[in-house]
Structures are given as structure tokens and as C-alpha cells.
Chain A
Amino acid sequence: MKRRDFLKSVTAVAASGAVSAPAVFSPAKAQSRAETLLIVSESGPNNVDIHGVGTNVPGYEVSWNCYDRLISHEMKTVDGTAYYDRDKFKPELAEDMNVGDMSATFKLKKNATFHDGTPVTAKDVKWSLDRAVSVGGFPTFQMSAGSLTKPEQFVVVDDHTVRVDFLRKDRLTIPDLAVIVPCVMNSGLVQKHATEKDPWGLEYTKQNTAGSGAYRVASWTAGTEVVMERNDKWVGGPMPKVKRIVWRMVPSAGNRRALLERGDADISYDLPNKDFVELKGAGKLNIISTPYSNGIQYIGMNVKIPPFDNPKVRQAIAYALPYQKIMDAVLFGLAKPCFGAPAGKATEVAWPQAHGFNTDIAKAKALLAEAGFPNGFETTLSFDLGFAGVNEPLCVLTQESLAQIGIKVTINKIPGANWRTELNKKVLPLYTNVFSGWLDYPEYFFIWCYHGKNSIFNTMNYQSKEIDGYIDGAVTAAANGDKPAYEKDVKGFVDVAFADMPRVPLYQPYVNIATQKNISGYQYWFHRRLDYRALVKA
């Protein structure tokens, strides 16, 4: 039965007084159904302000759609899906951007207003950027990734002009102004609710949106639903087509699938891979799969803990991993392999890219013997239970495969709440994890994950003067626009990472989205959440 027929028949049944279901009782409601998008997902936001203390990832989605930034990205098409263009920026609240040598000047749109009608001024922009670099925690961390750390960097030139001064030459400064964090808030409204203990008004923005964005939160019941309504006065871009977004939390994956298949829900992401593959096969829904930009699931080895301090052992592990089995049995093909590059293939100036290792038990055994472990050894393989759906089978397959070269692996399941604490201690010898960066630049990934300054994402405790030289070189070359030097350095650090193998990249995970056939306009963004502004319901 088609969706429309179904709705009609339900309306008819309901009108005849029988006790029946999806409560579309009146034509008025059917009308609102056509203008409303129903999104179902496992969990919802805990805070609608990305500057908040411990705002979770669903909260980022609300922030993205309800606030504007000075600039955003243009779109391009990759494999048939609209995909944000890393290198092209478009104005959002700004109408004009002028990037100079050591500063960038933004002219604001004069007709831009916040949801309560107050005009957006340069003062609001400065206050919001000051807030982002001052509140601490994740937002401040993210701003610092683009060398934005001090309030003095943001200067009000006049009512509608803001200048951002650069701390140093950094290629990531402008892209960092287009991520979710530097959103512009209604400073007057928020300050009204600020207190001495809470000078940035975090308590107020936790519950209320105070932005100028395309949507505003109409109601929010934590853990149950978020209702967002279109801001008809939005000037940040073309007027969105969907009037109302209803985002319901449905914890059971089976029910999310049933809701989609029955045509009651319009969009869902976060279903198990197996469901996505089956739904794709059935052909009743649109399934869009896009690899994480700058994100990799990997097997990490702590190079400070023997025997993983021996590069030969690490290479042996890289030859013993069951790559293809993981792709087939765990991910059902829904991931982009990072292994098995043909021998002699030149290193690319790109990240992620495939390494040359593939499952080869004989080679692995030989390498292990060379390293002085002909009979293998014992170790522990840890994973995050919060993502057990993928991690558990992945680790079991790895355990089986490593047993073939004599390595006895005990699996250590760590509860989600405890995972980061354990990982940050850097005492796990062998583990699997995902890292992904919002800013899609190879050197950005390597600064965090491989550089000797040993950030928390360098979970391997990896130190190498050689790789540090290449990474620092690439950062400087990028800032100065020296392309040949940049390419040489990127190839350099990728080569070192693949020869030394402190972590073995497995694959780029996919973001999977299932929508009804009448929904179009999905865009892939670096944050991997939905952009409602482009969605269309036919």
C-alpha cells in the first residue's frame, strides 16, 4: 500500500469511528503532516547550545540548524551525494568576507535578525566568538584548533563589520570559523539571563535557542522529542522547504526500521549496518551511504608497551588482521577499505588512503619470528562497549586471526562511560577505536594522532622525530601556500606512518541515512549530522 493511500484509508477508518491507528484524524492534520518532517533516532540532545558543558552530538545538530555562523561551505557532488566543499566558503550571516594577510574582515547582512526580532550586530558576533574561546571545554578546544584563542582577536569595526585578527598564519583559521562552534548568539537576550556564577548565560541557552538560524526550537522534551519550526525571516540562505521538524527518540533499532518501512517516519540514521543493507535490497527507501571525512576505524598498538615497541611485531599484526572478513561479516560492505593498496602504488597527497598491508598469515608469522616471538605472545584487545555492534564482532574476528600466528588475545570490553578515561591513560596495549576530525586536512589528523607532542588522540604513545618534522613542515607549508613542499611533507608523514604502523587503519566508516522516497536534499557535512535547511519533502 502506498503511503498516501494508507493515510487516506486511515483517515477514512478513523472518521467512521473505529478504533484504529496512526492518529491522523483530520485533513488539517494531514496537511501539517505534509509540511512536517519526522526524524527518528536513538538518542536526542542534552543541551541545545554547543558551548554548553558536555553537550552531546545530537545537540550539535540543533545548534547547526538553529544558529548561523559568519560563513559556511558551498556544496559539491561526490558519488551522487551533495557533499560540503572543503575549500569553498559562502557567506551566511556575513554578506562579504575579505581575507587579508593577518586578518579577515566580515561585513554582516544588514537585514539579519535574531528569532526575537533584534537585529544582528557586530557586537553580537564579537560577544559570541569571545564566548566560544572563553567558556572552556570542547568549544574552546575546537576554536584553538584554528589558532583562535583570545577575545582580543575579534574586533568590532562598526555596527555591521567585524574583523578577526590572526594569531599566526594558519590554514585552519578560516575553516574553523565555519564549523558549528563559532555560532552567533543574541548577546542582549543571553546576557539578560546571565548571572554572576554563569557570566555567559549557559543555563539559559541550554534550554533555549537564541540565534538567527533557519529553525528555532519550539519545544523540547529531553529524551523524547525536539520540535523545531522554520524561521520565516531567515536571511542566511535560500528559504528552507520544510516548515516543521519533529525529531523523536526511538531507542529500539527494530522499531526505527519498522517506522520507516511502514512509512510513518521520514528519516532515520543510526540503524545497524545489516538493516541498511536489507533496506537497500528491498528498494522501498532511499539509502545514502557516505564515508566519514577524515575518519578511520583502526587497531592501535601502544608503542611503549612491549612487544609493541618492536616495529616488526606491529607489521606482523598488520599482516595478520582479517581485513576482508571484517568488511564482509561486520560491516556488510558498508565502509571504505583502508587496506590492500596494490604493491608499488605511489603515496597520494590525501588522507585517509589505503596502506599496502593485507591478510597474509605466512608473512606475519615470518615477521613475528624475526622479531623474536616465533611462538607468539599473550595480550589484551580492548574495545568500547558503547559501539559494541561493530566493535565486538570486529574484535572476535581479530582474536581468531591473531591466534593463527600464535598471539593469544583476551578481549577486554570497556563500558562507554569508562572508555575515554581508559584510553586517555594510554595503558591499553592493543585496542580498536575511531578517530575523525571535523577539519578535513591530512596534517590536522596527523597533528592529533601521530605528533610527538602526544595529544590524547595519539593513543599509541607514538614518538618519532622524523614524522614530527614532516607534520610541522606541512603545517608551515600550508600556511605559506607552498604547494610542492606541502605535498612532499604529506607523502612523507603518510609513508612513515605506514612503515612504522603504530596504528593499523582498517576502514572509513559510513554515515548511513534512510529516507522515504519523497524526501530529497540530503547533504553530507563534516559533522555528519542532518542539515534540515536543504531537505525537501515532495
Chain B
Amino acid sequence: MLTMILKRLLLAIPSLIGVVIVTFLLTRALPGDPAAYFAGPAADKAAIEQIRVKLGFDKPLIVQFFDYVGDLARGDLGNSLTTGQPVAAEIRARLPASAELTLLGLIVSVLIAVPLGIMAATRPGSWIDHFCRVLTTAGVSLPVFFTGLILVYVFYYQLGWSPAPLGRIDVFATTPPSVTGFYLIDSIIARDFGMFRASFNQLILPAMTLAIFSLAPIARMTRASMLAVLSSDFVRTARASGLKPSTVIVTYAFRNAMLPVVTTLGMVFSFLLGANVLVEKVFAWPGIGSFAVEALISSDFAPVQGFVLTMAVMYVALNLLIDVFYGIIDPRVRMEG
């Protein structure tokens, strides 16, 4: 197992180097001119040039690249011009916000989608199967910003059940002392249950929005994989041996159907983490996606590079984690590994 992890990590190094080079070149190929953008509306050519020199964009590309790599080696991802903060600090502050939201959304999604998929698979063609189909189709075809705005409209604007969509905490609450950066966990550590409830309330609507969107792949994959497993020989044998249907489904079929579901989960998670920009926009969530998009719009190079690099590292880590899970779920994978 350990050798497998090491081997995988070694293999990841060339791809990370590739990511560094490609993002550097791609950001430089963007049409915008950051010096002109940040010089402000009232800047003349001289002022723009001064800014360009200050930002180091007057140097040849290759010099800029080696500066960047040098900084990177020291763990310095550069400064964001849009927020004025070091990119590393921004990502450290924002990644937990995105991860907390995405994880909670994914948990809600799994809690709904997996049972739904299993029930749909055990009774194909029944009302629950159709219900599953309708729900997943609707979930995947409604754009997230639309679902988000509808939820805000109904639960905040009309009913007043949900707190104002103002980000992670209410305006008058203070953040819990940061340990993990996950407010739910930090507030438990600080034994501040009022804070826990407040941040949980803020999370409900955005997490629901994400859950509705990510239901489809998980439910469909669970259903398909369960159907395949349920029609296989060992399940027939188990049934013929007179085992209880619940034992057959949960103990035998479900574990074997898990593999593709876990793969899908990994994919959905990493996809959501980067792609929930719209949810973050709607709920004023200080996450990593909206940060990257804002930087992109103002051709602010450093955050874009930092974001892509972080995402690449996370993909590598996540894939590794999923492979480890495979080993736990399916001993055959472990042997081959």
C-alpha cells in the first residue's frame, strides 16, 4: 500500500510541473493588460508604465517565469491585485469555506441519492424508479444559480425561515477561533453552540443547492451499478440460498456496487469544488471559485495560477484517496496494487 502511494506521488510530479508551465503561459496569453486595468480610469501612459514596472510585467517572459518558479519554491504564490492579499493566504482562507460547503452538499446529496438509487434499482419500473428519474433529470437540468435564487426567494425573501444570504456567518456574529477553517468543526471545538447553529443555518440553502445539482450522477450511478450487481450470479446464489432480501441487498450487492459510486463521488467532489462559483456568487460565499473567476475577469495572473495549481494538487490527492478506498472496498484491487 505504502509503495503504491509513493509511486503515485512520484508520478504526479511531472504533471504538476506541466500545470505550472501551462498556467503561466495561458495567463500571459489572456487578452487583458493588468497594468492598464489596475492603473485606474484616470491614468495616463506614464502611470500605466509605472504600474507595469512595479508589478514586474515589463520584464521578459522568461525572467518573469523564473521569478515565479523561484517564489513558488519558497511557497510564495504572489499577490492578488483584486483583493490585495497574498494568494497563499487567500487560498488558505477560502479553500475551507468552499470545502465545507461542498462536503456538506455532497453528504446531503449522498444521503438522498444512494438510498434512492438502491430503491430504484430493486424496483425497476415502479413509481420510485420514475420518481428517481424525474428528480435527477430536474436536478441536473436546473442551473445552480437558478435553484439557488429560487431557494433564496422562497426561504429567505418569502418565508423568512432562512438567514440572509450574506456568506458564512451573520453580520453580527464573530468567527470562531480558526483551527480547521471549517466553521462547523471550529465552533464545536470552541464549544460555542450558538455559533454552530448560526453557521449551520447559513450553510443549509447553499448546501441544498449543491445537493440538488449533484444528485443526478450519484443516483444514476448507484442505480445502474446496483442493477448490474443484482443480476449477477452471486446475488442469485445468495437469493437461492434463502438469505433475507435485506441481507442480500445491503451486505452482498451494495458493497460490490460501491466501486463505481465512489469513483463518481470523487469526480463530483472535485468538480463541485471548482465549479460552484455560481453558488458562491448567489450566497456571497467567500469561496475559492468566485475568487478565481474574479481574478480571471480582471486578468489578475497570480490568483489564477495559484488556483489552478491548488486544484491540480487536490485532484492528485483526491485520486490517490479514491484509489486507497478502492483497496478497502475491494481486496482484489489491493492485491494488484
* A interface residue numbers (CB < 8 A to B): 6, 19-25, 29, 32-33, 36, 38, 40, 45-47, 52-56, 136-138, 140-142, 206-207, 221-225, 246, 248-252, 254-255, 258-259, 261-262, 264-265, 415-418, 420-421, 424, 455-456
Contact = CB atoms under 8 A, between A and B. Distances in A.
Q: Range of interface residues on chain B?
A: 35 or more
Given A23-B198, A54-B40, A246-B171, A223 B298 contact: no
Given A47-B84, A137-B43, A248-B284, A29 B38 contact: no
Interface in B80-104: 80-85, 90, 93
Contact of A32 (B32, B51, B172, B197): B172
Given A46-B83, A53-B38, A33 B172 contact: yes
B4 to A, nearest CB: 40
Given A46-B83, A137-B51, A23 B37 contact: no
A415 B32 contact: yes
> Which has the most chain A C-beta neighbours within 10 Å: B48, B157, B162, B284?
B284
Contacts of A420: 33, 36-37, 39, 41
B43 A141 contact: yes
B161 interface: yes
A222 B295 CA distance: 13
B47 A140 contact: yes
Contacts of A45: 84
B51 A424 contact: no
A54 B163 contact: no
B28 to A, nearest CB: 13
A136 B51 CA distance: 8
Nearest to A249: B284
Interface stretch (B148-156, B243-251, B321-329): B148-156
Contact of B50 (A56, A136, A255, A415): A136
B31 interface: yes
Nearest to B173: A23
Contacts of A22: 163-164, 170
Given A20-B201, A33-B172, 17 more contacts: A23-B173, A38-B171, A46-B80, A54-B39, A56-B40, A136-B47, A137-B43, A224-B286, A248-B167, A249-B284, A258-B157, A262-B156, A415-B297, A420-B37, A420-B41, A424-B45, A456-B43
Interface string B276-289: 00000111101000
Contacts of A424: 36, 45, 48
Contacts of B32: 415-418, 421
B291 interface: yes
A36 B172 contact: yes
B194 interface: yes
Contacts of A421: 32-33, 36
A38 B284 CA distance: 15
Nearest to A433: B41
A52 B30 CA distance: 25
Contacts of B282: 251-252, 255
B51 A417 contact: no
B44 interface: yes
A255 B43 CA distance: 34
Contacts of B38: 53-54, 56
B166 interface: yes
Interface string B249-277: 00000000000000000000000000000
B34 interface: yes
B109 interface: no
B284 A222 contact: no
A32 B170 CA distance: 13
Contacts of B335: none
Contacts of B34: 417
> Which has the most chain B C-beta neighbours within 10 Å: A19, A262, A420, A456?
A420
Contact of A251 (B36, B39, B281): B281
Question: Nearest 8 CB-CB pairs, A to B?
Answer: A54-B38, A417-B32, A222-B83, A46-B84, A417-B299, A23-B170, A421-B33, A136-B50
Contacts of B156: 21, 258, 262
Interface in B186-212: 194, 197-198, 201
B201 A21 contact: yes
B290 A418 contact: no
Nearest to B195: A23
> Which has the most chain A C-beta neighbours within 10 Å: B31, B39, B48, B171?
B171
Contacts of A19: 197, 201
Contact of B161 (A21, A47, A138): A21
B314 to A, nearest CB: 21
Given A46-B84, A138-B40, A418-B33, A21 B160 contact: yes
B201 A23 contact: yes
> Which has the most chain B C-beta neighbours within 10 Å: A21, A55, A141?
A21
Contacts of A456: 43-45
B114 to A, nearest CB: 26
Nearest to A33: B172
B76 interface: no
Contact of B37 (A29, A249, A416): A416
B31 A418 contact: yes
Contact of A23 (B51, B55, B163): B163
B42 interface: yes
B162 A21 contact: yes
A56 B83 CA distance: 9
Nearest to B149: A254
Given A252-B282, A262-B156, A417-B32, A20 B161 contact: yes
A141 B194 contact: no
Contact of A53 (B33, B51, B167, B173): B51
B286 A223 contact: yes
Contact of B164 (A141, A224, A264): A264
